[in-house]
Structure 1
Amino acid sequence: MLDVVRKYASERLKQRPRKGLSRFAFWLVAWLLALTALRLIPGVLGGLAAGLQIMVLVILAMVCIPLGWTFIRTRLLWSLRNKLIFTYVLIGAAPVVLIATLVLVSAYVAAGQFAIHLIDTRVQTELNQMSAENENRLVQLAKIVDGHPTREAMSVDMPREERSLMMDARRARLHHETTCFLEGTPVFHAMAKKHVPLGLPAWATQLPGGSFRNIVADNGELYLVAVQQQVLNDGRKFSVVDSVPLDSAVVDMLAEGLGIVKVHPDTTSETIADPAEAERHRLAARRAGITTSEIRGGRSHQGVNVADIPVNFPSTLPIVDWAQGKADNVAVTVDSLPSILYQQLFAASLSSGIMDFIRISLTILFLLFGGIELLAFIMAIRISRTMTSSIADLYEATQRVDRGDLDYRIAVTRTDQLAELSRSFNVMIGSLRRLLVEQKEKERLQSELSIAQEVQANLFPHSAVDLPTLELHGVCRPARSVSGDYYDFLVFQEDIADANGGRLTRRAAGVGIALGDISGKGISAALLMATLHSAVRAYQFASEELHYAASTLEGLMASKQGVADAGGWFQSPSRIMSLLNRHLFRSTQPEKYATLFLAHYDSATSVLTYSNAGQLPPFVLGRDGSVRRLEEGGTVVGLMDGMHYDEGRVVMAPGDIFIGYSDGVTEPENDFGDFGEERLIEVVARYRDEPLHIISAQVMLALDAWIGAEEQPDDITLVLARQL
């Protein structure tokens, strides 16, 4: 058993919160439980544990407030369904609760005021009756007092039946007390029960209108008092004071048909000037059954239904301080039932049929209101389910898409806005799938372009090609991943015997320069460029006999002795151009063609033999600044079959620079026009004494500055050769 408990406790400790307020609250709960156990120990330790327990409990309550709010916000209100329920409660139930609270509070205030009004009305009714009786009594007694100058004569001549008139059954039950005053001095006193008589204070000897009736407080006791005054024929003022102690009998009469009424005399603000006199009045009032702490009367009633619950209504009644004549208030509470007040309010004015009609009407209104609330509740549930189901479908769809299921679609059966959102989501998933397919295809093409770019980079000369008499440099910068421009250097070797006619050595006898531009851009142009490159390289090493045209017969019959790799073919670039034209025309589509410049440089004679097939004519920039354009040749290759190409020859002097370029060098434009041949020649002339790669870099910088932030419009190819 202990092992099970230990294992359970260990598991619970492993599950305890690890950080933040949650961990702090966990340890506070643990401390609270420990202090609860220590509190059972008697003595100082138990008292200290009790004090610490209260402190820990307060801290725990403060910590639980943010934890509770976090739990509500992150757990209870996380789902849309709970948020909608909370919203509906705020929008629907909150106004109902507020209105119901307002109605109940208003009904409570109105019922309380009505109950106090009934008490006050009954008090005034009793005071009016006392005043009327006192008025009759004043008329009768004034006749006797007016004929007797002394108090003793009044007592002897007062009829016995007049005194018994003051002692009827009703006054005896209410403890009536009547005192007559002549010029403020009591002349006789009649009472129903022995208690302290009221004196006539100075302010009451001259009453406005000759009468007074109210509840008065005299030395901490409450009375119903009616005073009547009359001036006798001899000028003396005669006063009759009728008083009833405000005891349980009077309160019973006031609470009849209402419930329980409580009067609290201790709440009056009057002070007793003479403590001994006040104590004497309290003892006499206690013997008469009057209590100063609470005067209680009436009886409790049973409710007619569950909703008919007892209600307490506190208020005050106006009183007068008998000693000083100042107005004051006394606290009164009424414990009654709504049904009793309803009967008191309507029973006297409405017949039974009207009451039944009102009751039935209220019941119908209540049922109608309940039906409307029920209908609203059902509609709210249906709308909430519609919204939550749509959101749940969208959430499930996002989870499926996140797992890679792009074939998942939401089943849509409705026609509301959420349904349109689901349809849009389905369309979005379809578009996303297509985009992914396109992205994969794009990545595949990009991969192929990268491979093509790598292959094409290997086609360009990637090592320095220099002859003893000629310095060479070339650069190609594609506008896209691959280029349609083409340039190549083909070095021709020859075998030379040593002075003794023995071992042969190989040396560079010349170089072939190829520069071309393929129609179009991108992959197709790059493929045609590779074809052209392969064909030129193939013709470099070819040795077959060709009979193509009379104009090329001499070139075909040229001696090849002493040439190691058939480089003699390139001594006639026009012949190679004709062969390339026929090859491209027969092996490519009709709309495909290329501009091409082929040249052969002989190291021994420094002669550059060339043929230009539609390529922008290269320049030979002389040391003296002269410019020779290399234009001899013919039309583009690959467009028409059987074309004839001419040749031209240029002797390269030391310091002369050969400048070959594509249209991507001279045709870029900005607001000032094309870059142009003149600017190209100007840049080369400015840096002509620098190494060729420096000249090439300066040309590229000038082009970049000319193009600016715009995209490079075309492939840029530049070939430079300088005679040493």
Structure 2
Amino acid sequence: MANLLLQVPAFLRRLNRLEKVFLILCLLELIYRATHRLSGIILPLRALLDFSLTILAVVLGFTYLRRLIRRLLWRLRNRLIITYVFIGVVPIVLVLAMLGIALYILMGQVATYMVTTELQRRNDLVRDCAYGLAWNVADHRRRGNTQASANEFLKVLRGRHPHLQAVVQGDGRTFSVPADAVVKDIPPWSKPGFAGLLSAGLAYAMAAHIQASDSVAAVQVFAYEPADSDLLARLLPGLASIQFLQLENAPGGGRRLARQREENDPNWEINFTEPVQFATLPPARAWWDIVVSWGTPIPLWKWENEGGTPLSALVVVRSRPSLIINQLFSTSEEWASALKLALVGIGVLFLSVEIVSLISGVGLTRTITRSIADLYEATRKIKVGDFSHRIPIRTNDQLSELAGSFNSMTENIQKLIVESKEKERLESELEIAREVQSQLFPKEVPRLKTLELDGVCNPARTVSGDYYDFVSIESCWTALAIGDIAGKGISAALLMASIQSSLRAQLTYRNGPRSNRPAENAPISTSSLVTLLNQQLYENTSPEKFASFYCGVYDDRSGRLFYTNAGHLPPILIRQGKASRLAISGMVLGVLPNNHYDQDCVELQPGDLLVAFTDGITEPENEYGEEFGEKRLTELLLRNARRPLKELVAVVTGAVSEWSNSPEQQDDMTLLLARRV
């Protein structure tokens, strides 16, 4: 109980405003009912409360119904079932209903047609009896025994028409045959030649008015036979049950059933017989053998009708389809049996087709829903990160192709995830390598009295295969180096690190003592340094690995630059508005062993600008495939030679990037600049 009470606040929080209002109204309704039952007091606004509660109940009912429908239709299987119901079942039900209604109307029309035909035949028999009686009376009139002869003749006719009666008029007198007949006179509105259905109250008779004339006088006979239950039962024995309903003009127009006769009603003077009741039909042969009730109007003359204008009576016929069908096919038993067998065969065929269609539809539906369920389950697996899940392929159709595409997609995603993780790992390692490599580049530029230095390396990837360096050897000597390793990426960066470490080691440990060399000579020979680097690179790398390398040693006192160029692009020297190129001392490093490199020397004058660069500056191409080129670089340097070195670096790299106009840098761009001051 305590747990239940604790759940009440959570339940109330889940209700929306409309539901809360409905709950409050329900509580008020309970209070009103309890108050009324205990004290008998009817509280005010009870009607308004009931009305509001009813309206809210209807609104909430529609709301919950919509929710239920949405929930039921959420599954594809339910949607397909409802679709099949609307597409297949509903039209079939409508067609069957229309067919049933049509067959019902047809059976009713056939039954009423047979009844009206039989009534007409029976009326013709009454008219023939009237003819016979009239001529019999005319023949016996000379003998003076007309009434006796009429009674005798009627007895003969009653052999086939047990309830036949007549009124005879001739020679100025009128008598009934038989004498105790109900009708004593011919209706005043009846004329010779009349034949039809006659009513007196709710009793009916088949009547005919005949006149027979000879040379002496005319004889009129009004013959009638009561249309009682016995007569109607003999019209279509075992086939239909018949009843008459009178129609009369309604006060507002149209027709309606005539009023029922009241007891001791003086308006009904004649009663042929008791009102006709429905006869009992044979029992049904099957579930489809229902009672068919149908009616059709026929002319009706009322006994008390003074104008002689016919009214209408509704002949109501009750029968069964089996009785009507047997009557229709009663002419040929063999043909009827064959037709029934054919109908049964067609029915069995249609039923078989329907069963096969149903089984096929269920199978197709199951295939579709199972495929969709597999896809839904697979998406849920993918949602939680299980990319190893695969959809089973059971058929060879479009849904199976979809499942196969989904499997291929998940497999590719799984591979991409693995590759992404590997890429993240490599990027992490590259980032570490970039940080390590950034430590290899000069952290600060040496401050010299006669030379300004600056440099930059913009890698095309995370790490670079280009290299530049400034190394202070002694107080007045500084080494300058720039190199370009073949290739890009990790391998080039590792080779660059190897060259940098070798260079710095040799510059640090191979300085000769100052006492053993002249002061004007460089503390280390660039030619021997480059020769040693070439030998190390050749011995420790694969044959396809090589590097171009430029190394110089600058004397801050004299302004002389001793250098060796191992296959690197010749640096550009800008002097007094003109450009020249430094010489190349030998081929690239790492190609041939024991290769000797020369050392050259150039004396820098005040205002001279020395620019060393890699091919990432001169080889980038524009959209037409044209390279930036050394000529364009030289012209750019000549125009901007007097700019500060940092601005000059920005101008050169910006011009190259603008020339290539590519979102991705094509190659490592490295510059080393030195200006004599």
TM-score, normalization by structure 2: 0.80
Partner Cα distance (2:373, 2:635) in 1: 72
Offset from partner CA, 1:217-236 (integer Å, 9 cap, x none): 799987644344678879x9
State which drifts further: 394-403 or 584-593. Answer: 394-403
1:214 to 196, 208, 213: 196
**1:599 and 2:552 correspond:** yes
How far the C-alpha of 1:700 sits from its partner, in A, is 2.6
> Could you tell me whether the CA contact under 8 Å between 1:16 and 1:23 is conserved in 2?
no
> Could you tell me whether the CA contact under 8 Å between 2:205 and 2:225 is conserved in 1?
yes
State which drifts further: 97-106 or 638-647. Answer: 97-106
Change (3 A) 1:237 1:710: farther
1:350 to 324, 332, 341: 332
1:458 to 434, 439, 442: 439
1:132 to 128, 146, 167: 128
Change (3 A) 1:267 1:173: farther
How far the C-alpha of 1:117 sits from its partner, in A, is 1.0
Residue identity (%)? 31
Q: Secondary structure at the match of 2:454?
A: strand
Q: Secondary structure at the match of 1:705?
A: helix
**Equivalent in the alignment of 1:558:** 517
> Could you tell me whether the CA contact under 8 Å between 1:573 and 1:599 is conserved in 2?
yes
> Could you tell me whether the CA contact under 8 Å between 1:413 and 1:419 is conserved in 2?
yes
AA partner of residue 489 (structure 1):
F
2:427 to 440, 446, 469: 446
Alignment of 1:139-538 (within 5 A): 139=135, 159-162=147-150, 169=158, 176=165, 178=167, 188=174, 190=176, 193-194=181-182, 199-201=187-189, 211-215=193-197, 224-228=206-210, 241-242=222-223, 251-254=232-235, 256-266=237-247, 283-285=266-268, 288=271, 296-319=277-300, 329-346=312-329, 348-351=330-333, 362-363=343-344, 366-367=347-348, 369-378=350-359, 380-381=361-362, 392=373, 395-406=376-387, 429-494=410-475, 509-538=476-505
AA partner of residue 417 (structure 2):
L
**Equivalent in the alignment of 1:110:** 106
How far the C-alpha of 1:630 sits from its partner, in A, is 1.5
> Could you tell me whether the CA contact under 8 Å between 1:484 and 1:522 is conserved in 2?
yes
> Could you tell me whether the CA contact under 8 Å between 1:217 and 1:320 is conserved in 2?
yes
> Could you tell me whether the CA contact under 8 Å between 2:472 and 2:478 is conserved in 1?
yes
Offset from partner CA, 1:321-366 (integer Å, 9 cap, x none): 96667676543433322232233333x3133x66555555555555
Change (3 A) 1:239 1:630: farther
Partner Cα distance (1:609, 1:282) in 2: 153
Partner Cα distance (2:55, 2:165) in 1: 60
**1:627 and 2:557 correspond:** no
How far the C-alpha of 1:664 sits from its partner, in A, is 1.4
Partner Cα distance (1:654, 1:238) in 2: 166
Partner Cα distance (2:154, 2:222) in 1: 12
Offset from partner CA, 1:46-86 (integer Å, 9 cap, x none): 99868966875576456544643543443x34445445555
Offset from partner CA, 1:553-574 (integer Å, 9 cap, x none): xx9963479xxxxx9445x433
AA partner of residue 211 (structure 1):
G
Offset from partner CA, 1:534-579 (integer Å, 9 cap, x none): 1222222123669xxxxxxxx9963479xxxxx9445x43332222
**1:574 and 2:574 correspond:** no
> Could you tell me whether the CA contact under 8 Å between 2:182 and 2:271 is conserved in 1?
yes
> Could you tell me whether the CA contact under 8 Å between 2:238 and 2:282 is conserved in 1?
no
How far the C-alpha of 1:100 sits from its partner, in A, is 3.3
Change (3 A) 1:359 1:219: closer
Q: Secondary structure at the match of 1:617?
A: coil
AA partner of residue 116 (structure 1):
T
How far the C-alpha of 1:392 sits from its partner, in A, is 4.8
> Could you tell me whether the CA contact under 8 Å between 2:203 and 2:272 is conserved in 1?
no
Offset from partner CA, 1:363-395 (integer Å, 9 cap, x none): 555555545544555555555555555555555
Q: Secondary structure at the match of 1:634?
A: coil
Offset from partner CA, 1:251-275 (integer Å, 9 cap, x none): 5555643344343214556999xx9
State which drifts further: 120-129 or 43-52. Answer: 43-52
Partner Cα distance (1:39, 1:222) in 2: 65
**Equivalent in the alignment of 1:71:** 68
Offset from partner CA, 1:576-609 (integer Å, 9 cap, x none): 2222222212222221111112223332223333
Partner Cα distance (1:676, 1:437) in 2: 42
Change (3 A) 1:400 1:297: closer
State which drifts further: 97-106 or 357-366. Answer: 357-366
Change (3 A) 1:10 1:579: closer
> Could you tell me whether the CA contact under 8 Å between 2:200 and 2:271 is conserved in 1?
no
1:540 to 489, 495, 507: 507
State which drifts further: 642-651 or 414-423. Answer: 414-423
Partner Cα distance (1:46, 1:350) in 2: 79
How far the C-alpha of 1:454 sits from its partner, in A, is 2.0
> Could you tell me whether the CA contact under 8 Å between 1:196 and 1:284 is conserved in 2?
no
Change (3 A) 1:587 1:214: same
AA partner of residue 127 (structure 2):
S
How far the C-alpha of 1:642 sits from its partner, in A, is 2.3
Change (3 A) 1:165 1:84: same
Q: Secondary structure at the match of 2:242?
A: strand
State which drifts further: 257-266 or 55-64. Answer: 55-64
Partner Cα distance (2:13, 2:165) in 1: 78
Q: 5+ unaligned residues in a row in structure 1: which ranges?
A: 148-155, 495-508, 547-554, 562-566
AA partner of residue 284 (structure 2):
G
**1:702 and 2:655 correspond:** yes
Partner Cα distance (2:8, 2:239) in 1: 61
**Equivalent in the alignment of 2:646:** 693
AA partner of residue 637 (structure 1):
L
Q: Secondary structure at the match of 1:515?
A: strand
Offset from partner CA, 1:293-314 (integer Å, 9 cap, x none): x853322432234443333334
Q: Secondary structure at the match of 1:298?
A: coil
User: How many residues were matched structurally?
Assistant: 664
How far the C-alpha of 1:111 sits from its partner, in A, is 0.8
Q: Secondary structure at the match of 2:544?
A: coil
Partner Cα distance (1:230, 1:289) in 2: 26
**1:665 and 2:617 correspond:** yes
State which drifts further: 318-327 or 250-259. Answer: 318-327
Q: Secondary structure at the match of 1:285?
A: coil
Partner Cα distance (1:669, 1:8) in 2: 79
Offset from partner CA, 1:73-118 (integer Å, 9 cap, x none): 43x3444544555555556655653443343223212111111112
2:538 to 560, 585, 588: 585
> Could you tell me whether the CA contact under 8 Å between 1:660 and 1:719 is conserved in 2?
yes
State which drifts further: 170-179 or 443-452. Answer: 170-179
